[in-house]
Chains A and B, each alone.
Chain A
Amino acid sequence: MSSTADEPNRCEPPLSAEPEPLSERRLSRWHWRRLLRGRVRPLLAAGLAGVLLGAGGVAWQTQAGPFAPDELCWGALSRDDLALTFREPEDVKVVEAPVLRSGRSLDGPVGSCQLTNSDGDGWALTARVHQLDDRAGDDGMWADEFLSARLTPLGGGLLGMASDNRAWLAIPDGCLGRPSDFDGPTVVDIAQGRWITDMEPRTEQRDGMARMVVKLVNKVSADLGCAGTIADPVERLPKAAHYTRTEKPDALCGIKGLTLGKKRKPYHDPMITDGHGPVRTCDRDITGSQPKQRLMTVEDPRLAAIFVRMALKEGDQVRSAAGYGGLGPNLGVFQARCQTGATVFLVQANESGKAADVRTLFPRYVEAEAARLGCGPLKLRLPRQ
């Protein structure tokens, strides 16, 4: 490979001189023009042309040298696509692992791609293709970050969401098949920065992330041999999520009747998922990437699948006419079958001393949310204290 690439350089002088007419008839014996006279010339020219063509062809085939497309992350993104995410898109360096079908046939494809530039590692952007799986902890940290209320549902029936530093989108069922009742969907997700932070997301950057994740899914799907292109979702997106500053003590998280008592109102304002999507999350007091309190309804059955084990194992068993779940000191989780399929309701506190609040909110939250989804009446019988 390297020797063929060198060849053109070595032969350059004869090529550039070739069109010139030979004016001098008398040349010294070892002069290059004399050596190149007669039958040698066409042969050499043909050989040179062949080498150039061959090298060019190989470079083209392997997309090397001048034919390398300046496209990043499996060829899905151009430098222009990074303009909203990096200050100097031209300087961005990429390290990528190709998207491969997993050796274990039951798992979805896997791949990753990391983009960095001089802004520092803290601002590196990582794109991953992976199948969500609670055994990999995706019901924990992944859910904390990617199902946060900071993310806006992409809408249009898509199983995906975006904020200014996190975005994810499932690869179409029509491409990989629908996951079974106990498997999570295969998603492309992108993350920038270590924490999701408690700041209200910036709409422009959110739009950039939404566009990027759609482009990545389209390219990964196409590489998997699937037809169809998901259209840009940005036009239909509302403004990025914001804190609700008008919460009432008798309608916590904007849910009528959900209360801890007439006068008790949490100190921190909630941020609530804006728009109809795979989840409705209400987060308070995000520290790093974890909310101090989360009330979440997972409405898409494919996503609910990653909480099945949690609902079966958490705390003491909760009883009801339909569904199953558990209640521990910091977490109440319940799974029921609603019209769309498996649906998970979750009340979570990530600080100590909130067991009583969790116990109070959990059954009321499940009942109210089930009613909203046309899945009621759903009354829980809690385990004894």
Chain B
Amino acid sequence: MSEKDLAAAAAPGRLRRALPHSRRGRLSLISVLVLVLAGTALGTWAADTWPWPKDRYCWGAWQEDSGPGFLGDEALDDDGSRTGEQTAPTRERPTGRCDVTIAGEHKSSYDGDKVSTDQQVSVEYGPVPKAAEARLAMVHDGFLGGDMVPLPDGLPGTVNGRGGLLVLPESCDTQDGRPTVVTMHASGTYTSGPSYIRNDPADLGGARQAAELLVAAANRGMAAAGCAPDEPLRVSSPVYDLPGDRERVFSTSEDVCGIRGLHLGTEDIEYQTGVVTRDLQTCSVRNDRDGLPYLQLAMVAQPRLAAVFDGIAGERPAARGWRGTGTTGEKHAIVRADCAGRPTVFLMGASTDLGHLAAFANAATARLRCAPIAPKGAAR
């Protein structure tokens, strides 16, 4: 205490003695200081390394101005704002969530209408729901459509420019064996005047960038929940394949999804194939006017992704003569059977007509060189 006081008292004297005495000396010292400051400022400006910390979002996984549009300045109007809200998972309660919200408002220079944008990127961390319908709605409807592609580097999950899903390693499974997943979703609306409103989701910067955002959030989430693997998950490869175009259907008897014999008796639909590999196959049929799902089909054999559907395929065959086990719910059907040595899941959404699932599953198994799932005559 006393030493400190002494030092403080002595300081001004020492400082004065250290400073140059002449007027000219002081002047040159000051000008040198000014020059150094200016140089540093110029340098930091040029290298874009301002000393103020940048904002971080999603448990620290994402940094302001780090690449994707929604984290950059261009996402903000003059008086727009970007805010983050988050709940990190913990060991005791391994569910979490974070949202980045971008809001802006301005007067249109064209017609003076009030224009407002409201965009959001949400990440959810947690085990998949217990109930079959809820789980299928979340995973199949949300992330196994024909507009998604697999995550790069064989990571179990899917991605596109508006979001993605990643299944975490077994160390993050719940005690009853349900995998934990991280999902990301970009949404948003653009409103002009009293009546014009359209979808305007936040810009994730494309599927590759989205995959990086998703994996970064997953790594932070796992660390917070105490189940992170030794090596953090990483994306290094490019997104190699993108989904095919949406294909129009020109007659009621035309095949959809490239499945011989799968026709739906209507022309007002289009279909899109996302991925067709040994691990995963997705196809979505939509109403061509409103884009609403008409029939959603998926085959999942990638072990971690298939594990998401463990325990909801029932104990008995889906129908008489079907292989494996299966159930039909209100809006979904699921069949689980062995194919080429792997437990494989066949999913159908937006319809519960088992004839469609039979045509799809039997075509997929023919491609994968394993026994058909549905008996002859079940396909429609």
Per-residue contact bits, chain A 188-229, to B (CB 8 Å; 1 contact, 0 not): 000000000000000000000000000000000100001111
Find the B residue at minimum CB distance from A299: B276
Stretch at the interface among B11-19, B47-55, B73-81, B231-239: B231-239
Residue A157 is within 8 A (CB to CB) of chain B in the complex = yes
B309-360 contacts to A (CB < 8 Å)? none
Q: Are A173 and B364 in contact (CB under 8 A)?
A: no
Q: Are A339 and B240 in contact (CB under 8 A)?
A: no
Min CB gap B157→A, angstroms: 15
Residue B172 is within 8 A (CB to CB) of chain A in the complex = no
Residue A17 is within 8 A (CB to CB) of chain B in the complex = no
Complex Cα gap A337–B250 (Å): 14
Q: Are A228 and B273 in contact (CB under 8 A)?
A: no
Complex Cα gap A349–B273 (Å): 34
Q: Are B236 and A229 in contact (CB under 8 A)?
A: yes
Per-residue contact bits, chain B 98-131, to A (CB 8 Å; 1 contact, 0 not): 0000000000000000000000000000000000
Tell me how many residues of A have a C-beta within 8 Å of chain B: 32
Q: Are A228 and B239 in contact (CB under 8 A)?
A: yes
**Known: A226-B238, A374-B364. Is A174-B206 also a contact (CB below 8 A)?**
yes
**In the complex, which residues of chain A have a beta carbon less than 8 angstroms from the beta carbon of B242?**
173-174, 177-178
Min CB gap B163→A, angstroms: 16
Residue A49 is within 8 A (CB to CB) of chain B in the complex = no
Across the interface, A374 reaches (CB within 8 A) one of B273, B277, B363, namely B363
**Known: A157-B241, A174-B239, A227-B209. Is A322-B276 also a contact (CB below 8 A)?**
no
**Known: A174-B207, A339-B364. Is A228-B258 also a contact (CB below 8 A)?**
no
Stretch at the interface among A120-128, A240-248, A249-257, A375-383: A375-383
**Known: A228-B208, A339-B363, A374-B367. Is A221-B260 also a contact (CB below 8 A)?**
no
**In the complex, which residues of chain B have a beta carbon less than 8 angstroms from the beta carbon of A332?**
none
Across the interface, A375 reaches (CB within 8 A) one of B239, B258, B365, namely B258
Min CB gap B137→A, angstroms: 25
Residue A312 is within 8 A (CB to CB) of chain B in the complex = no
**Known: A228-B208, A337-B255, A341-B258. Is A174-B238 also a contact (CB below 8 A)?**
yes
Complex Cα gap A175–B366 (Å): 33
Residue A301 is within 8 A (CB to CB) of chain B in the complex = yes
Q: Are B240 and A341 in contact (CB under 8 A)?
A: no
Q: Are B364 and A157 in contact (CB under 8 A)?
A: no
**In the complex, which residues of chain A have a beta carbon less than 8 angstroms from the beta carbon of B243?**
178
Complex Cα gap A183–B243 (Å): 15
Q: Are B257 and A339 in contact (CB under 8 A)?
A: yes
**In the complex, which residues of chain B have a beta carbon less than 8 angstroms from the beta carbon of A340?**
258, 273, 276
Find the B residue at minimum CB distance from A373: B367
Q: Are A229 and B273 in contact (CB under 8 A)?
A: no
**In the complex, which residues of chain A have a beta carbon less than 8 angstroms from the beta carbon of B209?**
227
A261-296 contacts to B (CB < 8 Å)? none
Min CB gap A341→B, angstroms: 5
Q: Are A230 and B244 in contact (CB under 8 A)?
A: no
Q: Are A172 and B239 in contact (CB under 8 A)?
A: yes
Q: Are A341 and B244 in contact (CB under 8 A)?
A: yes
Residue A3 is within 8 A (CB to CB) of chain B in the complex = no
Q: Are B367 and A172 in contact (CB under 8 A)?
A: no
Min CB gap A366→B, angstroms: 13
Min CB gap B130→A, angstroms: 33
Across the interface, A338 reaches (CB within 8 A) one of B208, B235, B258, namely B258
**In the complex, which residues of chain A have a beta carbon less than 8 angstroms from the beta carbon of B206?**
174
Complex Cα gap A357–B132 (Å): 55
A interface SS class:
loop
Complex Cα gap A374–B363 (Å): 5
**In the complex, which residues of chain B have a beta carbon less than 8 angstroms from the beta carbon of A159?**
240
Per-residue contact bits, chain A 156-172, to B (CB 8 Å; 1 contact, 0 not): 01110000000000001
Complex Cα gap A157–B368 (Å): 15
Q: Are B367 and A322 in contact (CB under 8 A)?
A: no
**In the complex, which residues of chain B have a beta carbon less than 8 angstroms from the beta carbon of A377?**
260
Interface-centre pick from B207, B241, B273 (highest chain A CB count, 10 A):
B241
Across the interface, B236 reaches (CB within 8 A) one of A178, A180, A228, A338, namely A228
Across the interface, A339 reaches (CB within 8 A) one of B237, B238, B276, namely B276
Q: Are B245 and A181 in contact (CB under 8 A)?
A: yes
Q: Are B367 and A339 in contact (CB under 8 A)?
A: yes
Q: Are B236 and A172 in contact (CB under 8 A)?
A: no
**Known: A180-B245, A374-B364, A374-B366. Is A322-B260 also a contact (CB below 8 A)?**
yes
Complex Cα gap A174–B160 (Å): 10
**In the complex, which residues of chain B have a beta carbon less than 8 angstroms from the beta carbon of A64?**
none
Residue A231 is within 8 A (CB to CB) of chain B in the complex = yes
Residue B378 is within 8 A (CB to CB) of chain A in the complex = no
Min CB gap B295→A, angstroms: 15
**In the complex, which residues of chain B have a beta carbon less than 8 angstroms from the beta carbon of A178?**
241-245
Residue A371 is within 8 A (CB to CB) of chain B in the complex = yes
Interface-centre pick from A173, A180, A227, A230 (highest chain B CB count, 10 A):
A227
Residue B61 is within 8 A (CB to CB) of chain A in the complex = no
Q: Are A229 and B257 in contact (CB under 8 A)?
A: no
Excluding A173-B240, A301-B244, A375-B260, 17 further A-B contacts by CB distance (< 8 Å) are A159-B240, A174-B206, A178-B244, A178-B245, A221-B238, A228-B208, A228-B237, A322-B255, A339-B259, A339-B281, A339-B364, A339-B367, A374-B366, A374-B367, A374-B368, A375-B258, A375-B363
Please give the residue numbers on chain A whose beta carbons come within 8 Å of chain B beta carbons, in ascending order. Answer: 157-159, 172-175, 177-178, 180-181, 221, 226-231, 301, 322, 337-341, 371, 373-378
Identify 6 residue pairs between A and B in the complex whose beta-carbon atoms are under 8 Å apart, listed by A's number: A157-B240, A226-B238, A322-B255, A322-B260, A339-B367, A374-B368
A-B pairs, 6 with minimum CB distance: A228-B238, A374-B367, A174-B239, A374-B366, A173-B242, A178-B242
